[in-house]
Amino acid sequence: MAGKELTYKKYNLDIYDPFDVTGPYEMPIIHRCDVVPESLIGFNEVLSCRCYN
């Protein structure tokens, strides 16, 4: 894989939409989502959890 392609994939620039940004720094807009997960696990408990789903 070429260097430029690797950089694009590493920083998810392949999914970046330059027309869906706001503000002077052109930050991507995070759209509202109504998906509710069935269960959650705390970030600090990931390594010690024994119930991987």
Taking the C-alpha atoms of residue 48 and residue 13, their distance in angstroms, rounded to an integer, is 33
Find tokens 């997960």 and name the residue. Answer: 37
CB 29 within 8 A of CB 21: yes
Helix (H, G, I), strand (E, B) or coil at 22: strand
DSSP for residue 23: T
Integer Cα distance of 53 and 32 in angstroms: 25
What are 12-27's pLDDT values in tens digits?
888 888 899 999 999 9
Q: What is the pLDDT of residues 21-50, one digit of tens each?
A: 999 999 999 999 999 888 888 888 878 877
Per-residue confidence (pLDDT) for residue 1, from 0 to 100: 62
Partners of 46 in the β-ladder: none
